[in-house]
Amino acid sequence: MTKKIISTALAVLMIVGCSALVAGCNNTAEQPVTSEYKLAENIEDGSILHCFSWNFETIKNSMADIAASGFTALQTSPINECLEGEDGGMELYGDGKWYYHYQPTDWTIGNYQLGTKEQFKEMCDEADKYGIKVIVDVIPNHTTPTTSKINQNLIDAVGGMDKLYHQNSQYDLKNYGNRLECTTYKMGGLPDVNTENPDFQEYFLKYINECIDLGADGFRYDTAKHIGLPDDPKEDDGYTNNFWERVTKDIHKADSIFNYGEVLQGNNDRINDYIKTIGRTTASTYGSRIRNAVVQENLDSSMIKDYYISEDNLNNIVTWVESHDNYINDGNWSLMSEKQIEMAYAIISARQAGTPLFFDRPYGSSQEDQWGMNRIGAAGSDMYKSDIVRAVNFFRIAMKGEDENLVKPMDKSSALVIERGEKGAVIVNLSGELETGFEINLPDGTYKNRVDGETVYTVKGGKLTSDKPVPENTVVVLYNDGFVNYAKPASVGVENAEFNYAQDSVDVILRCSDAVNSKYILEVGDKVIDTPFEDGDTVRISQDKGATAVLTLTAENQQGTPVYKQFLFTRQGEKSTNKIEKGTKVYFTKPEGWGSKISAYVYADDGEETAWPGLLMKDEGDGKYSYQFTDDWTSPRIIFNDGSKQYPAANEPGLLVEADKTYTAE
């Protein structure tokens, strides 16, 4: 009898305790804070951070921070040997270019922008410690247009330069609806590789397998739409359109590798066939729709529900708000604020279909400044670790397998509720306050907003209420089952910094938050300062003209997870000027295959330019043309073209003008 009474009493205690958990403790009580980040086992169940132009060392040192932000995978920029432009300049745009690593000179690991093969391996090893997968951006479709820089090993391996490229590569792609033209012609001035050549395939597969052996878990195939599918038309060269079959099946760990292709939609894109062949593709039309919906503050489900992909393929797409291409080339950088990007990302990450990719903008960039610090190799904006991005990343992991339902709360078009089964919901409110009291598919109980960690919401009888409305420009993430109370990442940075300055010195304000053990290391020439700092401290940087100082900030969050940022400050040197006087002549030797009318387009850094395509050159005979300057110029550059072909190639800087020089296309 005694044992029965005791057991009954324990049962009552357990029932009371569980009831409290369901109604309150499970929802509002603080769980122990942890830094043991539980990321998704598979890339498709998590999210991807695009470390745009970060180098291997930066990614390795940021790995703990990436895990703390809830990313299951990271995507590197291309790691292949590439064209070294502007004498190795390392600006994203200016004295250097981000796109040079998209101009292969060979398919071997390592380049001057991102680092060595050994550093790539170290980065992958560090990723393994946190369960983070590594996706490598690869470019089999084309090489650099500066073909004189192509590695001889590659030329020999594929059977010669004529075997490296398609026969049609001499022609510029104009009709995207013509599949033969789309897959064999030159796009954007970039020579089109004959990816059907078995010798090239063997060479490229060696590169892919070495990436895998060093730790790569997946690949993003650049310009995939320009590589033929098995039933696409072919040149008459005796080869077979089997590139995709080989790179998805004849590789190490083929069953576990995450492959996706960049297939921009429109003009006979055959996107569903690419998904079937490669495994996954991008969903560019959906990204455009999401951007428009957020900018227009219209989240009606008719605006954002459709992925514009076959229903059968919705689990085989990579979604994004923006990619590096549309950020840079389409002018989207000026259309959306960081807050709008975060809110749009909350939508794509909270939804059931697709694998979301977060493009990390350059550090210090804004709607007024596209490039910010403007440095290849450095980490980008802290947007990737914002409260919103981090909350929806971990929400996505917890919601695996749950169906979705899109709801317009209170009939408000600028707000959206994304319900995931009965387990969780994300509320996005773009403009004006959103009154609560609307229906929601969550169990009765209390919930904290996992974005701010404070605001409490109550669900009773299927309706959501709170003490105050949901403010505008707010994301609310609600779930209890599967929630882990992770330590907030520390942040370090600089405020209103002049990364390129002309004066004798520059004062840099240091910032840190949610951080302990903050310190900075300042390297100016041979001098190194290594010392702790507090939020708001100022560091003065002074150096010789033309020199660059390196400022590294480190800290830890409250649970010891490290954070790392590196900044470069350059004092401007004396700019050399090249005076070209009126009457100066330059010459150009017409390449084989060019038309007979050659123009010279001239421009200078001060904004002076001739209208494209420039002024007609004089035919001097024997394939030589001349151009005479009719005004004085300061440090002009020149581009030669025949109306369809040009030298230097598209996206390449013009050649410095030298009086009486004869230019010859490489």
3-state secondary structure of 120: helix
d(CA 645, CA 666): 13
Query: Does an H or E element contain 294, and which?
Result: helix 284-295
Query: Hunting for tokens 């490669």 — which residue is that?
Result: 278
Q: 261: which DSSP letter? A: E
Beta strand pairing call for 463-465 and 474-479: unpaired
d(CA 439, CA 427): 12
Query: Hunting for tokens 């070495």 — which residue is that?
Result: 210
d(CA 478, CA 40): 19
Q: Give the DSSP per-residue string, 162-223.
A: HHHB-GGGGSBP--TT-HHHHHHSBBTTBPBB-TT-HHHHHHHHHHHHHHHHHT--EEEETT
d(CA 141, CA 194): 8
Strand ranges in 277-369 using DSSP code E only, listed in sequence order: 281-282, 317-320, 355-359
3-state secondary structure of 428: strand
Amino acid at 82: C
Comparing C-alpha atoms, which of 87, 65, 48 is closest to residue 379?
A: 65
Two tokens at 558? Answer: 């409250």
**Residue 222 is a catalytic residue:** yes
Tell me how far CA of residue 426 lies from CA of 55, 72, 419, 474, 478, in angstroms.
34, 20, 7, 10, 6
Let me know: does 110 contact 44? Beta carbons within 8 Å. no
Two tokens at 528? Answer: 């190194």
Omega cis (within 30) before 648: yes
Strand ranges in 331-442 using DSSP code E only, listed in sequence order: 355-359, 404-407, 415-420, 424-429, 438-439
Sheet with 491-495, strands from edge to edge, namely: 491-495, 505-513, 538-542
Amino acid at 239: Y
Among the options 126, 137, 222, 360, which is catalytic?
222
* Burial class of residue 342, CB neighbours in 10 A (0-12, 13-18, 19+): buried
**Residue 262 is a catalytic residue:** yes
Among the options 44, 65, 137, 262, which is catalytic?
262
Tally helices (H) and strands (E) across the chain. Answer: 16, 39
Q: Which residues are catalytic, by number?
A: 222, 262
